[in-house]
Amino acid sequence: MNETRADMEADPEVAPEVLKARFGRDIARDFDLDDPMFNDRFDEVLTFMVNKCPISFSKVGTGYHLVNTNEQVRRVAQDWRTFSSAKGYMPNRPEGLPYLMPEESDPPMHTNWRHKLNPHMSPKVIATYEEVIRQDCNVLIDTFIEKGECEFISEFGALLPGWAFFKNVLGVPIDDLAMLVEGVEQGTFALPAEERPAHMARVFTYLDTHLKWRATQPKRGDVIDTILEGVIYDDGTEAPWDHKVSILVDLTFGGIATTTFVMSSAIHYLAMHPEVRQQLIDDPSLIENAVEEFSRVFPPVIALGRTCTRDVEVAGTEMKEGDFVMLTWGAASRDPRAMEEPEKIDIKRETILHSTFGVGPHRCIGSNLARLELTTTIEEWLRRIPEFSLREGTAPVYVTGFLRSMRELQLVWPK
Amino acid sequence: MRVKIDGEHCTGHGRCAKYAPNVFILDDDGYNADRGNEIDVPEGEEENAKRGMKSCPERAITLVAE
Ligand code: HEM
Ligand code: SF4
């Protein structure tokens, strides 16, 4: 295991020509999150990066560093003064993409909003959604259980998180979900990247309209009313309207773009591992721990960025003020320096340390909701469809950038 | 056993309370209610407390030397 940039440079396995022969590019010095090779050899690349490249670099666009170890990711994520979110989380940010609050802001502005929003997303409040989510799992399963087959993503995985978020948090009809999911997906993965802002714009327009409409309605005391109420920033000014819209966009983005991947990967894993399935059926109290382990090894948010506010050194690499730095959450969650046998998927792990939901002040505000959706899905799926497998001759289809998503998962079970 | 919960670094992952609900309590925002303070771990809860500490993605909980 290499600890610093110097260790990495001295390691013959990380020599440029060795990497080019093995991965088709020098992933230590010129990594690309959008490289199809990364999509195809995801686990292998992440494991190599965390073991061999404590820090790596990309020459794509204006270039960016990637911080890959558990300890350094935590250090950088917690030090928001040196590593600012205010210039965005995307490397080579396309022109015209509006900034998202609270994600792309720093304290104290960020703290103002989080204080306001956190009470709506706490474990206690989220727990009250459990019955609705459980019902929705069953409504969805009812639509295909008799067929003995389904395409999991379009028939369940892309729907449940949206339903859970729309019904319980946003309070909007689920009819418009497909359009928003499409907008968010294309806004994230569309290539060339210059096309992404136009897709995101649709999402902004829709939510802006919704927020304006809600401002004319009687108060419900929900998160929308809280957003409308707004916050006063430390300089005494009120949060402007576009900040409010972007809060709603960020929540929606998180609410529909991420949980699907953990869910689909978990169901895929269970389809392939009947013995683990049986353990969970025999003892459903293991499911919560399994969800934590699945979140660790199937991260939908691979890496998000920060901008250096001053010159700084990380793991032996000098970074300059203005440099862009990606925090590779997905690598930090499989760091052998921080956990035993990270490459092994073990639902009975004693302690599970991971950074799938981020680290530092921007810790995912939806983490409690995501965990509830995942637990409930596995509980209800195994109760209704205890035996299932991958359709023969098919394989899951993935797409990867700074997020990872599954596009197709064909399942079959005895009718 | 005595532990300290860092007031700045706790960001409300809630893992500590999952593993050691009798030791770590969450406030209405879902953050460790004792952040910024030291607490005594009740007898018999040491193992749970350690699991909670090790699972905290922020490493916000640390042992206080007696
Ligand atoms: C398995 C599912 C999810 C994963 C893996 C995930 C991951 C993440 C990560 C890594 C961050 C950190 C951002 C940063 O450090 O810059 C984050 C932030 C955020 N997430 Fe999630 N998320 C998930 C589900 C959700 C859900 C369901 C929602 C909404 C209900 C949501 C809303 C947000 C928001 C609003 C932020 C920004 C928080 C801030 O900047 O303070 N996420 N998420
Ligand atoms: S696990 Fe850590 S960050 Fe999360 S609530 Fe507990 S102390 Fe705070």
Q: Which helix (H) or strand (E) holds B4?
A: strand B2-5
The rounded distance, in Å, linking the Cα atoms of A63 and A91 is 8
Range of B43's domain? 2-65
pLDDT of residue A125: 94
3-state secondary structure A107-172: CCHHHHHHHHHHHHHCHHHHHCCHHHHHHHHHHHHHCCHHHCEEEHHHHHHCCHHHHHHHHHHHCC
Q: What is the pLDDT of residue A318?
A: 97
Pairing assessment for the beta strands A64-67 and A324-327 based on DSSP bridges = parallel
A411: nearest Cα among A269, A307, A297: A269
Closest CB to A351: pick one of B12, B14, B51. Answer: B51
Residue B60 CA to ligand 2 center (angstroms) comes to 6
Q: Which residues contact A354 (CB under 8 A, 6 or more apart)?
A: A292, A295, A296, A299, A332, A333, B57
Looking up residue B38, the CATH number of its domain turns out to be 3.30.70.20
Looking at ligand 1, which atom is closest to the CA of residue A105?
40
Torsional sign, CA A95, A101, A104, A110: positive
CA of A117 to the centre of ligand 2 (A): 18
CB of A317 closer than 8 Å to CB of A63: no
Instruction: Count CB pairs under 8 A between chains A and B.
Output: 54
Convert chain A into a string of H (helix), E (strand) and C (coil).
CCCCHHHHHHCHHHCHHHHHHHHCCCCCCCCCCCCHHHHHCHHHHHHHHHHHCCEEEECCCCCEEEECCHHHHHHHHHCCCCEECCCCCCCCCCCCCCCCCCCCCCCCHHHHHHHHHHHHHCHHHHHCCHHHHHHHHHHHHHCCHHHCEEEHHHHHHCCHHHHHHHHHHHCCCHHHHHHHHHHHHHHHHCCCHHHHHHHHHHHHHHHHHHHHHHHCCCCCCCHHHHHHHCCECCCCCECCHHHHHHHHHHHHHHHHHCHHHHHHHHHHHHHHCHHHHHHHHHCHHHHHHHHHHHHHHCCCECCEEEEECCCEEECCEEECCCCEEEECHHHHCCCCCCCCCCCCCCCCCCCCCCCCCCCCCCCCCCHHHHHHHHHHHHHHHHHHCCCCEECCCCCCEEEECCEEEEEECEEECCC
Domain range for A134 is 5-412
| ipTM over cut 0.90 | yes
Per-residue model confidence as pLDDT tens digits over A28-65: 999 999 999 999 999 999 999 999 999 999 999 999 99
Our count of domains for chain A comes to: 1
Query: Is B6 an interface residue toward A (CB < 8 Å)?
Result: no
Summarize pLDDT for A244-269 with one digit per residue, the tens.
999 999 999 888 889 999 999 999 99
In order along its 66 residues, chain B shows pLDDT tens digits of 999 999 999 999 999 999 999 999 999 999 999 999 999 999 999 999 999 999 999 999 999 986
Q: Report the C-alpha gap between A414 and B13 in whole angstroms.
A: 39
Quote the pLDDT of residue A283.
98
Contacts of B13 in chain A (CB under 8 A): 357, 363, 367
Ligand 1 proximity of A200 Cβ (cutoff 6 Å): no
Residue ranges in chain A modelled with pLDDT below 70: none
pLDDT recorded at residue A96 = 80
Round to whole Å and give the CA distance between A34 and A25. Answer: 13
Q: pTM of the full predicted structure?
A: 0.96
Nearest to B58 among A78, A118, A119 (CB): A78
Structural domain count, chain B: 1
User: What are the backbone angles phi and psi of residue A28, rounded to the nearest 5°?
Assistant: -80, -30
CA A343 to chain centre: 20
Q: Which residues of B touch A357 (CB under 8 A)?
A: 13, 57
For residue A70, give the CATH number of its domain: 1.10.630.10
Residue A380 C-alpha to ligand 2 middle, in angstroms? 29
